[in-house]
Chains A and B, each alone.
Chain A
Amino acid sequence: MAGQIRYYDGVTAAALDVTVRPSSLELVISRAGSPDVMARWPIGEIAILGDSEHEAVPPLARGDERLMVEDAELRRQIALAVPQLAKFGAPKPSPAGRVAVFGTSFAALLALFWVGIDFGSELAAPLVPYRLQARLGDSVMTELVAGHPLCTNKSGLAAINGLANRLARAADYDHPVKVTIIRGGPVNAFTLPGGQLLFYSDLIDKARDGNEVAGVLAHEIGHAVHYHSMKGLARQYGLDQLLRLITGGYSDLGTVGAGGGLLLALSNGRNFERDADATGVSLLEKLGLRADGMADFFADLQKAQPRDAASQLGIWSTHPPTAERIAATKRPPTGKPAFSDEEWAALKAVCAPARENSPVPERVPQKPLATVPTLPQAKEPPGLPPPGKR
């Protein structure tokens, strides 16, 4: 067989045009136009490098030696003559069918991955061993309270922890909940993995009554019993992986994707807040407690900050607009007070006496914790008017 066959000897970069005579035992290679045999390749020593899908011409190789058969018909004839080299004669597959199959598979897998992230995080978050969640919550809590004075009055802490655990049990949450209170502001509260809640004392100081604090507490319990912080982490991780897969780690594209990912995370965050609001109110109602505190608290926030940050930030907000939340959580002032008078008094004084157990008194700048849901939108204390004036 002659024509368009190149032979490289593997020792030098000389290229020779050759003819090849195939048999079931060997390939006999001669210089083109000459009967002299240059090389004999036993079939058992021949390798086909690559395949017709990825190589323009899959080389036949014997060690470093190469035979390049450009002509597809010649490749087919060699393959017919030597059954061991059948793959060598395979025609180039048509790209259209493969583009359709692989393109559709990719799109379907992407959609599946997306659904997996969305639903998988819902299913998987509660299944994460509680010990791991608690450890994660502890480590974040350690970071958050570092350098901040804590409120350690036992009666006050017992009051808020007692209500927190009653609410959690009402939601069939099987694990203990622990509330930690930092002295000072902002007017804010966090829920961390493992049922760890962090309150700032300014929130308690500026609340009109115990029912407002109970409303905020119920909202945070809503986050805890829905494992929102774990779900948020899982979705964020999943989204990051998805972006990496699509963009191949291309940094500029990653930046664009990260912007989209952030918007999705914020959208998820707003849904978590709506869930926590609804759950909080229903838990209070389930226990027969007054459930109007949450809406009152939001109303106070709105009065203190008429230009609602959540509304103004729109799609960039971590929380739904306050007016929407007030409308969704509005309840009549019926039911038992969430705290007894004694409990509320103790809670109001939770920071008062016990300074001896507080850690390092100086403050260090707080680290933002984007993955953990927070209740109010604004970072600065919204500056609620003192309770006496309302």
Chain B
Amino acid sequence: MTDVSVPASASAPDLTPSRPVYDGKLGELYAIYFRHLALMVLTVGWSRFWGRTRLRRYLWSHFAVLGDRFEYRGRGLELMTGFVLVLLMLGVWGGLLWVFWEYVLHERSIPGLGLIDLFTYSLFFLGIPLAFVGHYAGLRYKMTRTRWRGIRCDLGGSAWGYGFKATFLHLANGLCGQLLTPLMSVLLAQPRIGNASLGTQRFEFAGRAGDIYGRFVGYYFLNILAWIIAISIGVGAVVWGGKTLDIGEKELADFFTHITPRSILLLIGFAFALYILFGVMILPLRCWWQAYLWRYLVSRARAGQVLFASALSTRQMWGFLVLNYMIVMLTLGLGWPWVAHRTARLIAGQLWLYGAPDGGSIRQPPSRPPRFGEGLLDMFDVSGI
């Protein structure tokens, strides 16, 4: 099913380029999605584990590399068990907090702080690292349920280690005004790529933050400049518009509190203007950086003799980051299959593989896959598909 193949010379290593092929159809994806949504309403959401599994089976099996399709062999019951286990863990945590509240804090209660508040705050602070742990554990679950040529994929490493590393790096990056972004991106890509494997064939990642700092610093200061210009234009437009249209405080208050067809139209116009302003000035810049980062991360990954590359452009990244977001938001979620379909086609079109694996030397992975999956991801983060 490869759509490009160029014969390699006998002496050079085989670096025949190929791309993955995605042959899914939007209508078929929508049929599965609508069924999933209908069952979600009927079961008050409990069918989501099975619905997600069906969608993954469709997407995975319509993706092929070197002519061989992927398989997804996860089960809805595994996802539900993972979710219930995390619910139980939260129950135990709530119980421990109650004991702490009742027997330790009881006499020294803090005014305005109730048991429920304590539970909520603890979840908020625990939730951030746990979301990262969940991301990694969820990735591991998906990898271990994925097969290519009958061989199971795997993801080693510790999800907890990744969670704490990611929390620390995000915190440090925030404190440093996002200047650590290249370092963080490379350090977090390392375990996600370097611990992945197809059977016994490990992936490798050889990225270095120093390679991409130059581009990032350029993006960083251009971004600040773009914000200053965009805010100046925005404020100028509002002040000029207010004076020209003679809109006072009362009219503004009425505008937001008494919705009329005119105010809806004006709001849509305002949102569109805002979108144009940010769409033209801020987002392309961000997409420029993100596309560059994606190309870099892909080009520094390899699996044995197979090398990877991507030619993802800024415009394509804009379609992925911005347009997809708009589609989901404007369709109130009903555009999700369209977004998944677009993304799959983008990956198939922009990911290049050079060379082919030596299939005979790749065997099933020695480690056992996790029995349940994604509970933490479901609980603390948007898990999507």
Residues of A in contact with B (beta carbons under 8 Å apart):
6, 8-15, 49-50, 53-57, 59, 64-66, 68, 92-93, 95-96, 98-99, 102-103, 105-106, 109-110, 112-113, 143, 147, 241, 244-253, 256-257, 312-317, 364-365
Chain A CB within 8 A of B122 CB: no
Which residues of B in the span 352-383 have a Cβ within 8 Å of any Cβ on A? 357, 359-364, 382-383
Chain B residues contacting A257 (CB-CB under 8 Å) are: 332
Bound-state Cα–Cα, A46 to B313, Å = 46
20 contacts between A and B (CB under 8 A): A6-B67, A12-B363, A13-B149, A13-B150, A53-B31, A64-B364, A66-B149, A93-B31, A99-B30, A102-B38, A105-B38, A245-B41, A246-B332, A248-B40, A249-B382, A252-B325, A256-B329, A313-B257, A315-B257, A315-B259
Bound-state Cα–Cα, A257 to B328, Å = 13
Task: For the complex formed, measure the closest distance between the CB of B1 and the CB atoms of chain A, giving whole angstroms.
Answer: 8
Contact call A241/B384, Cβ cutoff below 8 A: no
Q: Mark B36-54, 1 if CB is under 8 A from A, else 0.
A: 0110111011001000001
Contact call B259/A99, Cβ cutoff below 8 A: no
Partner of A365, one of B23, B58, B68, B112: B112
Chain B residues contacting A244 (CB-CB under 8 Å) are: 45
User: Which residue of chain B is the closest to A253 with respect to CB atoms?
Assistant: B333
Chain A CB within 8 A of B347 CB: no
* With A8-B149, A249-B382 already in contact, 5 other A-B pairs whose C-beta atoms are closer than 8 Å: A54-B54, A66-B71, A102-B35, A105-B35, A244-B45
Contact call A256/B23, Cβ cutoff below 8 A: no
Task: For the complex formed, measure the closest distance between the CB of B54 and the CB atoms of chain A, giving whole angstroms.
Answer: 5
Chain A CB within 8 A of B25 CB: yes
Chain A residues contacting B329 (CB-CB under 8 Å) are: 252-253, 256
Contact call B257/A56, Cβ cutoff below 8 A: no
Contact call A312/B257, Cβ cutoff below 8 A: yes
Contact call B150/A65, Cβ cutoff below 8 A: yes
User: Which residue of chain A is the closest to B114 with respect to CB atoms?
Assistant: A143
Bound-state Cα–Cα, A78 to B306, Å = 36
Contact call B38/A247, Cβ cutoff below 8 A: no
Chain A CB within 8 A of B151 CB: yes
Chain A residues contacting B68 (CB-CB under 8 Å) are: 6, 8, 15, 68
Contact call A245/B45, Cβ cutoff below 8 A: yes
Chain B residues contacting A56 (CB-CB under 8 Å) are: 23-24, 61-62, 69
Contact call A15/B40, Cβ cutoff below 8 A: no
Bound-state Cα–Cα, A15 to B147, Å = 13
Chain B residues contacting A8 (CB-CB under 8 Å) are: 68, 149-151
Chain B residues contacting A315 (CB-CB under 8 Å) are: 257-259
Contact call B201/A13, Cβ cutoff below 8 A: yes
Chain A CB within 8 A of B128 CB: no
Task: For the complex formed, measure the closest distance between the CB of B230 and the CB atoms of chain A, giving whole angstroms.
Answer: 21
| Contact A13 to B259, CB < 8 A, known contacts A8-B150, A54-B54, A241-B45 | no
Contact call A14/B360, Cβ cutoff below 8 A: yes
| Contact A245 to B257, CB < 8 A, known contacts A13-B199, A15-B359, A55-B61 | no
Chain B residues contacting A98 (CB-CB under 8 Å) are: 31, 34-35
Chain A residues contacting B28 (CB-CB under 8 Å) are: 53, 92, 95
Bound-state Cα–Cα, A10 to B259, Å = 64
Chain A CB within 8 A of B32 CB: yes
Chain A CB within 8 A of B73 CB: yes
| Contact A49 to B73, CB < 8 A, known contacts A14-B360, A315-B259, A316-B257 | yes
Chain A residues contacting B30 (CB-CB under 8 Å) are: 95, 99, 103
User: Which residue of chain B is the closest to A93 with respect to CB atoms?
Assistant: B31
Chain A residues contacting B45 (CB-CB under 8 Å) are: 241, 244-245
| Contact A12 to B361, CB < 8 A, known contacts A57-B69, A248-B336, A365-B112 | yes
| Contact A253 to B151, CB < 8 A, known contacts A49-B71, A95-B27, A102-B38 | no
Question: What 4 A-B pairs have minimum CB-CB distances, sorted nearest first?
Answer: A314-B257, A8-B150, A95-B27, A102-B34
User: Which residue of chain A is the closest to B331 with respect to CB atoms?
Assistant: A253
Chain A residues contacting B27 (CB-CB under 8 Å) are: 95-96, 99
Bound-state Cα–Cα, A98 to B25, Å = 13
Chain B residues contacting A246 (CB-CB under 8 Å) are: 37, 332-333
Chain A CB within 8 A of B286 CB: no
Contact call A106/B37, Cβ cutoff below 8 A: yes
| Contact A250 to B328, CB < 8 A, known contacts A241-B45, A245-B37, A245-B44 | yes
Chain A CB within 8 A of B253 CB: yes
Bound-state Cα–Cα, A316 to B364, Å = 60
Contact call B111/A105, Cβ cutoff below 8 A: no
Chain B residues contacting A247 (CB-CB under 8 Å) are: 332-333
Q: Mark B132-167, 1 if CB is under 8 A from A, else 0.
A: 000000000000000011110000000000000000
Chain A residues contacting B332 (CB-CB under 8 Å) are: 246-247, 253, 256-257
Task: For the complex formed, measure the closest distance between the CB of B266 and the CB atoms of chain A, giving whole angstroms.
Answer: 15
Task: For the complex formed, measure the closest distance between the CB of B339 and the CB atoms of chain A, giving whole angstroms.
Answer: 11
User: Which residue of chain B is the closest to A55 with respect to CB atoms?
Assistant: B61
Partner of B198, one of A9, A13, A57: A13
Chain A CB within 8 A of B57 CB: yes
Contact call A11/B364, Cβ cutoff below 8 A: yes
| Contact A11 to B333, CB < 8 A, known contacts A50-B61, A248-B384, A312-B257 | no
Chain B residues contacting A12 (CB-CB under 8 Å) are: 151, 359-363
| Contact A245 to B38, CB < 8 A, known contacts A12-B362, A68-B69 | no
User: Which residue of chain B is the closest to A10 with respect to CB atoms?
Assistant: B150
User: Which residue of chain B is the closest to A254 with respect to CB atoms?
Assistant: B382
Chain B residues contacting A11 (CB-CB under 8 Å) are: 363-364
